[in-house]
Structure 1
Amino acid sequence: MNGGLFKIIREKKAEIKKFKNEQFNKAQLKNNLVQMRSRTLVNYITFHFPKDGQDYLSNKSKIRVVRLLDIVDISNAIARMDRINHVNDQKRFFFFIAPFFTLSTGGLLAILTKVDFSNDISSFFIFSTMVKAYFVPFVFQMFFYWAVLMDSYDKATVNYFKDLLIQARDEKNNKTESD
């Protein structure tokens, strides 16, 4: 499990390193919106539109590049953002977290209440046994919460970029209607 997590972190760092060397222009954006895997695309968008903000002129320049895309590319990108949002929906994680933790806690309580501790065992031993028994489910629960948090950041990034695309599409539609 930890090996997979470290692999994901290394891949993300390698992708970001590649993005830093890549120019953010219309052709590159157009290709990346179509060719990148979903996870890579979310990392790409996060890099170019960070949730913590960026320099105003840089942001304005990147938004201008998004608006340069043609209407078909914008529509396809909006549909892809919807698909990514649907796949990364966190509700499925919540479905597993609560029952898993409830069942594991209930099972451990049932086991620990059936254990007959003799009178010569210290309360520290009983306490340490209970802590050990709850540690594993707690670690799993924290892993699921971490995954949900990361998915919510990704979902916010995808929604932000989708909103930019919708604004660009609306501007293009208004421009063609006024012509």
Structure 2
Amino acid sequence: MAKEIIDALSMKRALMRMTYEIVERNKGTKDLVLVGIKTRGWYLAERIAKNLKNLEDVEVPVGAIDISQYRDDLPEAEKEKIIHSQQLDFDITDKNVILVDDVLFTGRTIRAALDALMDQGRPAKINLAVLVDRGHRELPVRPDFIGKNIPTAMNEKVQVSMTEVDEKDSIEIVK
């Protein structure tokens, strides 16, 4: 059973508001880069970059980061085999990185993404932008930019759909 709580227009508005907040907090777009966590975080980062282009007439670098190799639930033997590789085609050293994801839940995905980012360079700072913060943190992670706070029960799931992969824009709570 799914209940839509955010439609396409509301999602667009939330991303635009987040874009304005990013510009304000960073005092412009100088040294700004967007890094989305694959898959939907990357598409959200692309949309924010498009908003920045329209608002500030600037092209902000956008990259995608795959955190699967950085998960904390891999066996040690498998972790030892992993070679951390360059994932971004631009340097993040001394840049203001906005890490973008669709849903913030326990914080474990963000922890893995931070490890992956640090393997790519040494940013001046990292801010976290999430479309949905659903609570239930297991790690001390707090987003800087939030599209929508959606309190949930542990047995519920937040499903973000995006036209790029799901042929529609919406956010639903699934029980």
TM-score (norm 1): 0.24
Bigger Rg, which one: 1
| Structure with more strand by fraction | 2
Greater share of residues in helix:
1
Larger relative contact order (C-alpha < 8 A, sep ≥ 6)? 1
